[in-house]
Structure 1
Amino acid sequence: MPVPDYQSIMYPLLELFRDGNEHTLQEAYIYLADYFDLTTEDKEEVLPSGKQLVYHNRIGWARTYLKKAGLIKSVKKATFVITDRGQKLLEDPGATELNQNYLMKYEEFKEFKNKKQNKNNTVLEEYDKSDLTPQEMLDYGYKEIQQQISDELLERVKGCTPEFFEKLVVELLVTMGYGGSIEDAGKAIGKSGDEGIDGIIKEDVLGLDMIYVQAKRWENVIGRPEIQKFAGSLEGQRASKGVFITTSEFTQGAKEYVNLIQKKIILINGNDLAAYMFKYNVGVSKIAEYILKKVDIDYFQE
């Protein structure tokens, strides 16, 4: 049979984890190829980019959606285990197949889907795909992939060691054009002892202005008192500008406070951090590149 769509893969993929043991993506590839009786030709079909197998790609998306719905969880690289919620779903005789509409019953999945909205606040699934142009479908697909990768990036950042977090922040800031060299920024930024790092980096190569950086790998929301403390620290750090990075979020009070003071402070939450990593190619690698072209009307002017 042809390779099934990713929604058809979700339930049998969840069944693989029924035994409660850890299972890898490689195991899933073998199990589902047998489950759907895929031929060698089916398994060798690749995406138009030629960079990935179709059935690997669809299994990957099925896994992502099960994970976002809290039905499975990651235990280590490319290794997953079923959750209590997932076991409960498998015990429900009325739930024999899964799709996005079913997963919307879970708040975590609903929140994940609501992130992928366009400027008109409408998600792609609400459109009839036949109403979309090929370019619109490509744009929406790219946004969905970007969101999925950003979510995975943030999850991995939260699970990394303090030493790796320090290295990541230094590399990102330098890639964005701050801090001078990796060596300079690495010397300027160090561990603060509270699951965070801080230091002063150059705003430009010449060091004409300095930026005080503080980054906290926290789960707790950062409130106004923490930002007030940070603003006060700028005075003693010879810096008029500051960047506060967190893997969590800032309260509304914290966001309002930075707009009330003269000091220039930029707040970067976990989602922003992952988005910058995606944009500046830190922690990600390129698997395909598409260049859209149009007919050059001027060329044909005689």
Structure 2
Amino acid sequence: MSIPDYQALMLPVLRLAAAGERRVPEAADAVANQLGLTDTERDELLPSGRQRVLHNRIHWAKFYMSKAGLIDSPARGRFVASETGRALLHTNPTSIDVETLKRYPDFVRFYNASSEGSSAETPATGAAAEATSTPEEQIDAAHAVLHAALKAELLQRILALSPAFFERAIVDLLVAMGYGGSHEDAAQRLGRSGDGGIDGVIDEDRLGLDRIYVQAKRYAPHVGVGRPEIQGFVGSLVGLGASKGVFVTTSSFSSPAADFVRHLPQRIVLIDGNRLAELMIEHEVGVRISRSVEVKRVDEDFFVDD
């Protein structure tokens, strides 16, 4: 089964808290056992890769119930059901959700303050969102959409400009990744030869102890790179006595092309349009930071009563 959303986790979390003090990891294990979650589901991470999905949803279930006064925090990192929470359980509810929490004045004040403090929908303000997503999940989902749009725009811009610009972009990327020594050295080598199926050569390290040969194809998305083109590139490497090559395209590689390089004695790296855009974003080539959002949490080490 899939991991329940954070509202569906409120009742099982409150029941666990009524049985005694808990930590989120302990509650996550207990809930996972109750639901029969697989190891893969237990270990599933948010898109950011910084927290398990189950832990995140339990955290927010606990957080929202604490705003309604159903959960207390008696010690650092621990939580337990309050008298109000136990009273709710005594009514044998079939579920607990945000609408349930709205019965409690403290939660209503929190809910209204959250609504007034944001012009965009959040789990405290958007009915559809609050049924499925925690704040981190919404941030990650929005980031994924922006990331995908940015990758598409990068490739569109490259295709709209000249082949010479594409070569310069590859120079910038390889230098940003730590190859080619200085930018001037890389630019002198890459995009200058054009001999035997090789578009350029770039030093693998600043000392020039090894070289990487590069082939670049600025193709439209529907024009893929096939095995014959890879074979031609490899043949050029063999003729030069080279052992390392990078084939870059703005489109994609066919399955026969990808399979072909897996069994070669030479080390050939294929970079398709999607990977090219990912690397440009990762190494900040052709992009800049437009907006940063900091997400802060309570520093538990600060709140220690000596």
TM superposition score category, shorter chain reference: 0.5 to 0.7
* Superposed displacement of residue 286, structure 1: 1.4
1:231 maps to: 234
Residue type at the aligned position of 2:200: G
The 3 A distance-change label for structure 1 pair 192 and 251 is farther
The 3 A distance-change label for structure 1 pair 222 and 210 is same
Matching of residue 286 in structure 1 with residue 289 in structure 2: yes
Deviations 1:118-154 (A, max 9, x none): xxxxxxxxx9421211111001101100100110110
Distance in 1 separating the partners of 2:227 and 2:146? 34
Distance in 2 separating the partners of 1:135 and 1:217? 37
Structure number, greater radius of gyration: 2
RMSD, aligned α-carbons: 2.1
Sequence identity percentage: 49
Contact between 2:200 and 2:213, CA under 8 Å: does it hold in 1? yes
Structure 1 stretches (4+) deviating beyond 6 angstroms?
Answer: none
Which of 262, 266, 280 in structure 1 is aligned with 2:265? 262
Residue type at the aligned position of 1:217: R
The 3 A distance-change label for structure 1 pair 241 and 197 is closer
1:186 maps to: 187
Structure (1 or 2) with the greater strand fraction: 1
Aligned length: 175
Matching of residue 252 in structure 1 with residue 291 in structure 2: no
2:276 maps to: 273
Which of 294, 300, 303 in structure 2 is aligned with 1:300? 303
Gaps of 5+ in 2: 1-126
TM-score (norm 1): 0.54
Contact between 2:219 and 2:249, CA under 8 Å: does it hold in 1? yes
Distance in 2 separating the partners of 1:190 and 1:277? 19
TM-score (norm 2): 0.54
Gaps of 5+ in 1: 1-126
What SS class does the counterpart of residue 199 from structure 2 fall into? strand
Residue type at the aligned position of 2:277: A
* Superposed displacement of residue 193, structure 1: 6.5
* Superposed displacement of residue 290, structure 1: 1.7
What SS class does the counterpart of residue 299 from structure 1 fall into? coil
Distance in 1 separating the partners of 2:239 and 2:297? 55
* Superposed displacement of residue 243, structure 1: 0.6
The 3 A distance-change label for structure 1 pair 274 and 248 is same
The 3 A distance-change label for structure 1 pair 192 and 203 is closer
1:66 maps to: none
Distance in 1 separating the partners of 2:282 and 2:288? 11
Distance in 1 separating the partners of 2:286 and 2:242? 29
Distance in 2 separating the partners of 1:184 and 1:191? 12
* Superposed displacement of residue 277, structure 1: 1.3
The 3 A distance-change label for structure 1 pair 162 and 153 is same
Distance in 2 separating the partners of 1:168 and 1:156? 11
Alignment of 1:52-201 (within 5 A): 128-130=128-130, 131-190=132-191, 198-201=199-202
Distance in 2 separating the partners of 1:197 and 1:228? 12
